[in-house]
Chain A
Amino acid sequence: MKEKIIGIDLGTTNSCVAVLEGGTPEIITNAEGERITPSVVGFTADGERLIGRLAKRQAITNPTNTVSSIKREMGTDHRTKISTDGKTTEYSPEEISAMILQKLKRDAEAHLGGTVTKAVITVPAYFNDSQRQATKDAGRIAGLEVARIINEPTAAALAYGLEKQHDQTILVFDLGGGTFDVSVLDIGDGVFDVLSTDGDTRLGGDDFDQRIVDWLVEEFRKDTGVDLTADPSAMQRLKDAAEAAKKELSSRMETTINLPYITADASGPKHLEKKLSRAKFEGMIDDLLQRTIQTVDGALREAKKTADGIDQVVLVGGSTRIPKVQELIASRIPGKINREINPDEVVAGGAAIQGGVLAGEVDEIVLLDVTPLTLSIETLGEVATPLIERNTTIPTEKTKTFTTAQDNQPAVQIHVVQGERKMASDNKSLGTFQLDGIPPAPRGIPQIDVTFNIDADGILHVTAQDKATSKSASITITESSRLDDDEIEKMRKDAEEHAEEDKQKYEQTEVRNQADQLIYAVEKAMSDLGEKVDAAKRSEVEDQIRRLKEKLEQGAGLEDLRQAVEELTKASQEIAQQAYQQTQADAGAATSSTGASTEAEPGTQDDDGGEYIDAEYDEPQD
């Protein structure tokens, strides 16, 4: 087992550590159960060192011996004076950073169950040589050999695998808790070239929270005349509520900030209840957001690029979740935003990938592809029955057993389709072949294994084999993964847009198939039972079968069909019961009739998880 090289995003406000596991980066949860660790170090009176969340909690009681945002001092000769037990010790920024790194190292070791000695650490693109050297030294002090220092925007690009694509120019927009950076990078041949970098070291999510707090304080003063700023506990509640409201407004258009008993005066307790709309919030932070966009323009100018010259935009930092932020970027650089990866974790993830590369973990073999779209075969009623779901990592193999839809069906037609739509005809057809020579048998009896095998090159081999005769037929489809990105995106969107309509169509087909199967089963049961069913019952059931058949032919509605199916099911149960009583009365042929009665049950339906799905049957052409 090769030694793992961890990836560390050593941030100004928060840090994050990740490691490559099975080719993909995994974020390591810290001892407190969180995925990010505040970059804060505290020294308690009794000489104990606290890192992360705990250090942050005690910061107020221990302001002189708590250090935060040390990253701003990296590469300078700044010294942090810490006095505990009457002794004063001076620490360099490297030493403080090393304490954070040490905690991340410990957490990683706990996760991996072994020692970690190597790391890739990220720094802002604008860090100069001495700042980079300081970061490297911090690693060494923490007992980590720094395998490489990489730029944060480069790490973000790595996390998205952009270096594997063609040569391109990307813009990384990093809006964190307290800092803001924009970088423009050229990527080509695995080389990352920073064309420009710009930013604001004092702008981030905390400023947005503060705007909401200010608004709440002002509103509350208007409503009640009470100034909440004088009450630290109320202010803390406001701060927490503001942050929660901000987050909620990323997914909702309006939120209610509800803080009962926020304070009290002579007239009694006071409650705060305010509705905040997304638009209102966007108005509050508009000037801040405009500043970020000006920075984007500045970075583009410096890189001598226009918006058209940018191939991809990568979002980093929790505040990029704000829809208005994305909207503003999209208004400058339309249609290029990548945002699938958690923006808090994307830098650490990219660092972990770099670590994997340096550890020799990432080479040709582990760079595996995924199937961009679901691969299915067409089954009874034109339903697309998936064998390999989209996003499955290849190479892979899946087998499902299908059966025939008609008695004595001599052949099955295998139609392979690709796409997310529920009906086969709405998907892309990849190929068709036929397996014939199926020995005569009632429908539902033959077992035909259909196997989809995609090799590492994305070539799909589909094989159908009759279990009884071992006879098989197959097809090889080479273009299954050769769709371009636009085509894939179009097909996905298509499926989303038609989801409701497809669901209805699918349900309709399902009930039709159910009806069809039921008719078959009941007819079979009646012929098996013969005179055990009395004439009146027989004609009643036959009547119902006829009506259901008529409905199927007329293409009756879903509810109508469901009802008819239900009626026939009930009737079929009655004949089964009658036959059973008859048999008991006859006290002889018990075995054959129980067999028949189970078959008359429509319980052979198998919509989810069932192995037997009627294979689409076309009359053989030859």
Chain B
Amino acid sequence: MSNPKKRKRDETEIPVEQVEAPVAEDQENANGELSIYIDRLQRLQAEFENYKKRTAREYSAVEERVEDRTILGFLGLYDNLERAFSSHAEDKDTESFVAGLEQIFGQFSQLLEQYGVERIPGVGEAFDPAVHEALLSVASDQQKNSILEEFLPGYRRGNRVLRASKVSVSRGPTPTEEADE
């Protein structure tokens, strides 16, 4: 900043006072402008902060509504289960009770299907930690790393895993622990 000023004076020999007055004015203008920009930046920043807060609020509101809609789908099943139990209380016929439950189970499966929920293939498949969780490693004559037993089925929705299936995995025919190696 001071350099150009100096050069200017050297070249043109303008008296000091004449130069400094406009510089001070420039400085004042610049300061004024600067404070305007700082204020604008601060306001923009605050607006962004408030936008984030609002988005977070809206996001949780949307989440609630999605939950509501999902729960609504399950209430029908709840009703039917209630009906099954109250009818069983009057009529102890196991066969018709089981038939009723089967139908409700069918409805349940249909609902899951509507949501695009798919069961993850288990027994006999090759173990894949992306979709399976190993609870046990068992020596067997099955191929190493194949799934022997499914303790809890896993589910996926599209390419997202809702729950990995909990399985036991073949260690191959080795009788001892691999850890012995």
Q: Residues of A with Cβ closer than 8 Å to B?
A: 22-24, 33, 42, 45, 50, 54-55, 57-61, 63-64, 83, 232-233, 236-237, 365-366, 368, 391-397, 455-456
Contact = CB atoms under 8 A, between A and B. Distances in A.
A368 B45 contact: yes
Interface size class, chain B: 20 to 34
B136 interface: yes
Interface in B126-151: 127, 129-130, 132-137, 145, 151
Q: Which DSSP category, helix, strand, loop or mixed, fits chain A's interface?
A: mixed
- Shortest 8 CB-CB contacts between residues of A and residues of B: A393-B49, A233-B151, A58-B129, A57-B133, A57-B129, A60-B134, A393-B46, A54-B129
Contacts, number: 87
Contacts of A237: 151-152
Contacts of A456: 39, 42
Contacts of B83: none
Interface string B109-129: 000000000000000000101
22 contacts: A22-B45, A23-B45, A33-B160, A55-B129, A57-B133, A63-B137, A64-B179, A83-B181, A232-B135, A232-B151, A232-B168, A236-B135, A365-B42, A365-B45, A368-B49, A391-B53, A394-B46, A395-B39, A395-B42, A395-B43, A396-B46, A396-B47
Contact of A61 (B41, B45, B46, B169): B169
Nearest to A81: B181
Q: Which DSSP category, helix, strand, loop or mixed, fits chain B's interface?
A: mixed
A391 B45 CA distance: 15
B52 A24 contact: yes
B103 interface: no
Contact of A22 (B49, B133, B151, B179): B49
Contacts of A60: 134-137, 169
**Which of A24, A50, A232, A393 has the most C-beta atoms of chain B within 10 angstroms of its own C-beta?**
A393
A46 to B, nearest CB: 10
Given A54-B129, A61-B145, A232-B135, 4 more contacts: A33-B160, A60-B169, A83-B181, A237-B151
B134 A59 contact: yes
Nearest to B137: A61
Contact of A64 (B53, B160, B178): B178
A64 B127 CA distance: 17
A393 B134 contact: no
Contacts of B50: 392-393, 396
Contacts of B74: none
A64 B134 CA distance: 15
